[in-house]
Amino acid sequence: MLGNRKSAVLLSAIALLVIAALALPVTVSSQSAAKSVSAAVDPKSFTVTVSRYGFNGTNAPLLLELRRGDVVHITFVYGDSDLPYDNPHVIFLEGYDLRTSIVSKTNPTATLDFIATQTGTFAFYCVIPCDGMLNLSSGRVVVAGQDDTGRLPTEIDVMVDEASSEGQATSFMATLTQGGQPVAGAQVDFYANTTLGPMKIGTGLTDQNGVARVGYTFLRSGEWDIVVEFVGSEKFGPSAKRLTVNVGPGAREPILVSIIPSLSGESISTLPYVRGQNRMPDLRLVGVPLAQGVPFITMILLIVGSVWAAYGYVFAQIRAIKQGSTTEITEEKGGGERKMQSTPAKKGFDKRILFGVILLVVVLAGVFAFYQFGTTAQRKTETVKIDIKMLMQNGGERHVFDPATITVHKGDHIVLIVTNTDDDSIHGVIIPELNLNTGPLTGDQSARIEFDANATGTYTILCPVPGCAPDHAQMIGQLVVVA
């Protein structure tokens, strides 16, 4: 069989591939790290530039730091004036449920005025499709707790091991004080902000010096946003501290990196870094009406059902085999001698199995279809048409939704048929709050979107195609859901 020499050839070849596999990707430059930018013009007033590159020209987190009870005035200024077309934005602040009017070329500023009554961290972001929408998703309003219950105000200070690196424990030391004096026996929580929200990385109790210690091993290098929080007690008020930790790369380098310098990732790091400009809406949405159609789902269920029905036929054959033996084997206890017993062969298979399987498939398909369509079927369906029209007004073009206001009833299943009658431009309909989008429609193209009107309210209708026309920002309609 395999001689030594031949075996060596085989092993060498496999080893080469295995080594190649171990080289698995070596990367590369990472995204520019997040950085905290304080945009304060006044302690309670902020001016934020909104552009396709993000807030204040960057997609890094923008933190607006407040104290509870502050009267806040935020001015958003349009920053895409260099674009030949309009790129409107609407900024929404979570928690306080506030939104600006449209910030666009024609309406270059919009404001948010509120009183910081809630403590915590609240995101603000652009809620309409625009160039750089994803870059405009990292705004944060941080409202620190201000004691108003008579408890003693506290302060927290944090020190971190600067030499932290990926895969190695990093130690945090938080000092909790009240009027310069240490607070002992208090629970301090440590969080790391992730793309999925805050992740608790540890909890420590303060000692007699007011110091709580926590160790954590970061599994990814880069900058980490850390929040250290004391939630307060009967006697002491809450306090929190944010900080950024730089975690250096670990020692995990692929084997080949040290052997072949070209794999070290330098080549890719030279690629130019260009911020994302997500100009196109998700085109797959255009196909949704087709993909959600009953014929499509019925076809899938029929194919799968047919296969399982054929399985049922095969199972029936197996049962027939089992029933069709002319001899039956019996074995005496204790492994004794085996005997044969004759039993009459049964003709034909038990058709009940086949019918049973088919029935099961039909029932399962029915249950599935009920969950797919059931809720829709029980609702009253209301069909509404919207045309997107181009009108000549005062010697200029004006693009409108016709009708501009649609009224539907809560609880109905709404079928919205949108037609772009403007042959010269691409438009569409988007209702951000309901997550509905026709995608871009060319002249005389129609789209059908369906949804359930579950909640009363007034929802803004916009065009999802930035720069479709000079008056793109003025293309606004309303969907009113009444009880």
Binders of other proteins among 216-245, rule CB under 8 A?
219-220
CB 320, min distance to other proteins, A: 5
Binders of other proteins among 280-309, rule CB under 8 A?
282-284, 288, 291-292, 296-297, 300-301, 304, 307-308
Count the site residues for other proteins by CB under 8 A: 80
Contacts for 253-260: CB closer than 8 Å, 24+ residues apart: 253/26, 254/22, 254/23, 254/24, 254/25, 254/26, 255/19, 255/22, 255/23, 256/19, 256/20, 256/22, 256/23, 256/26, 257/23, 257/26, 260/23
CB 315, min distance to other proteins, A: 8
**Residue 325 is a binding residue for other proteins (CB under 8 A):** yes
**Residue 411 is a binding residue for other proteins (CB under 8 A):** no
Binders of other proteins among 111-170, rule CB under 8 A?
134-135
Instruction: Give the largest Cα separation in the chain, rounded.
Output: 107
CB 371, min distance to other proteins, A: 9
- Taking residues 368 to 407 in sequence order and writing x for each that binds other proteins by CB under 8 A, - otherwise, the string is x---x-----------------------------------
How many Å apart are CA 110 and CA 92, to the nearest integer? 12
Token representation of residue 385? 């048409």
How many Å apart are CA 133 and CA 463, to the nearest integer? 15
CB 23, min distance to other proteins, A: 6
**Residue 251 is a binding residue for other proteins (CB under 8 A):** no
Q: Which stretch binds other proteins (CB under 8 A): 144-152, 183-191, 249-257, 353-361?
A: 249-257
End-to-end Cα separation, the chain, in angstroms = 83
DSSP string, 18-29: HHHHHT-----P
How many Å apart are CA 26 and CA 431, to the nearest integer? 42
Residue of 430, 345, 339 whose CA lies nearest to 388: 430
**Residue 197 is a binding residue for other proteins (CB under 8 A):** no
- Taking residues 442 to 481 in sequence order and writing x for each that binds other proteins by CB under 8 A, - otherwise, the string is ----------------------------------------
Q: How does DSSP classify residue 32? A: P
**Residue 314 is a binding residue for other proteins (CB under 8 A):** yes
How many Å apart are CA 187 and CA 203, to the nearest integer? 7
Which of 163, 274, 392, 483 binds other proteins (CB under 8 A)? It is 274
Determine which helix (DSSP H) or strand (DSSP E) holds 362, and give its type and residue range.
helix 351-377
Which of 163, 181, 261, 271 binds other proteins (CB under 8 A)? It is 271
**Residue 276 is a binding residue for other proteins (CB under 8 A):** yes
| CB-nearer residue toward other proteins: 95 or 167 | 167
Give me the count of residues in the chain.
Answer: 483
Q: Which stretch binds other proteins (CB under 8 A): 108-116, 121-129, 322-330, 423-431?
A: 322-330
